[in-house]
Structure 1
Amino acid sequence: MTASGPDMRQQLLASGARLLAEQGPSALTTRRVATDAGTSTMSVYTQFGSIDELVRAVVDDGFARLAQHLAVVERTDDPVANLAGLTYAFVDYARLNPNLYAVMFGTASLGPFRRTSTEDLQFGRSEVFDEFVATCGHAITVGRFDPADAWVVVHQWWSAIHGYIMLENAGYVRPPSSVDKVLTPLLINVLVGLGDTREAATASIATVREFGPSGGQTHARAR
């Protein structure tokens, strides 16, 4: 029996996410999603209105899952250690979902779909980056970072880490060795640039060493 209503919507959403993850952006067509879900193309239009709206739903679900991925990072009283843990988790998520990450952050498009509207960009900020803003704000408050607008600080952090992710996803750097040789030194340099001392930043990062399922460090823990 074919699913309908909310069940069909979730089935199509799951199929879209699977095709995107396994075959890349070019696989996300109305026909291929419907076939993977075992239904007709009319179901896509009934549930989402268009393939663009299905893509938007897949991407929004991706941000929700990124928020869940970050939520498993253990929080401590050390905001710099927390930022490091969140950084490794953020990279780990991108490593696990390279095609979805590329669409989520506008480095790949699906036909006319690209996250450029204020509404689309706000979703990613509210679901994910408020956590980073709060963490950086804490680091500023306790004097680990220089006084600054926490959201601007997050953009500086993001610019560096997103660049690393793009290199890793393209195969120019390869984990796990690139984590110790490129990502961690990069993160330390960013932290020092934001106002921390190299010794304090290195000590905080040393507490973040638990590895996740794809090789990325995802949980902050005190030793």
Structure 2
Amino acid sequence: MSPKPATAEVKAKLIDAAIRLLSDGGPEALQARKLAAEIGASTMAVYTHFGGMGALVDEVAREGFRRLSANLGEIEDTGDPAADMLTLALTYRRTVVDNPQLYAVTFGQSQPSGQKAALGDMTNEETRQNLSEEGIEAFGFLVRGAKRVIDAGRFRPASEFDVAAQLWSAVHGYITLEVAGHFGDGENGVDQILVPLATALGVGLGDTLEAATRSARISIESWRAKEGNIGT
């Protein structure tokens, strides 16, 4: 008789299966019965390993943040903190656009099986204590990026948490509209909307138009070289 798979292995399989179901069928497809069928188990596996669909949805959201952090962590420091900040935005966008259903759950925009991932204010030191480590880590890339730009004198002195939240709001708003199809097919919205939006926000935060434009050009050119299709 073969041994039962370890709990961690089954949980990982259920999370991967949940992400596949979301990608293929949206939030309506994320059901305990379908999850169990995906890994060849009974529906009790969901309740045994997570206690219910609510906890599984929270774990899916944590996995979304882990994947986002992994991508943001690959960005190299160019020495231009404002350019690097835009590259964070471009990487954030690419991650979400590649798997919009996962990130709709991660950011609480969809509620599979009527369950919404636990959320909170990442910009407040007190409420941050109640949030997942994965969410805090992902937001931390924006916070550290904002601090670099502030410390370089490109932005006015301000809380890096507040600046990061403003940048996050602008970029995530753009991504939400793009995913919904409001900017047409392809990635022309990056050049026509996202980069000018980031440039205007940088100027509003204290950068000069000349410096912000130069940094945007550095970022988008390096991004095109890496991705090969941004703006085409």
TM-score, with length taken from structure 2: 0.86
Aligned length: 217
C-alpha deviation, 1:198, in angstroms: 1.1
What residue identity is the alignment partner of 2:118? R
Question: Is 1:128 the counterpart of 2:138 in the alignment?
Answer: yes
Cα deviation code 1:64-112 (max 9, x no counterpart): 1100011111112111011011010001111011111111112222203
1:202 maps to: 213
Q: Which runs of 5+ in 1 are unaligned?
A: 218-223
Answer yes or no: is the 8 Å Cα contact 2:57–2:115 preserved in 1. Answer: no
Q: Greater RCO between the two (CA within 8 Å, min separation 6)? A: 1
Taking the TM superposition and a 5 Å limit, the aligned residue runs for 1:178-197 are 178-197=189-208
Match of 1:116 in 2: 119
Q: How does 1:67-216 map to 2 (within 5 A)?
A: 67-110=69-112, 111-116=114-119, 121-123=131-133, 125-174=135-184, 175-208=186-219, 209=221, 210-211=223-224, 215=229
- Which residue identity does 2:70 align to in structure 1? Q
Contact 1:89 1:216 in 2 (8 A): no
Q: Which residue of 2 aligns with 1:220?
A: none
1:154 partner amino acid: A
| Pair 115,6 (structure 1): closer, same or farther in 2 beyond 3 Å | closer
> What's the offset of the Cα at 1:115?
2.5
Larger deviation: 146-155 or 126-135? 126-135
Q: Give the distance between the partners of 2:198 and 2:71, measured in 1 at CA.
A: 20
Matching of residues 1-12 of structure 1 within 5 Å: 3-12=5-14
Contact 1:188 1:198 (C-alpha < 8 Å) held by counterparts: yes
Deviations 1:99-141 (A, max 9, x none): 1111111222220324335566454542111111111111111
C-alpha RMSD of matched pairs (Å): 2.1
Q: Which amino acid aligns with 2:200?
A: N
Answer whether contact 1:82 1:135 (CA < 8 A) is retained. Answer: yes
Over 6 Å off, 4+ runs: none
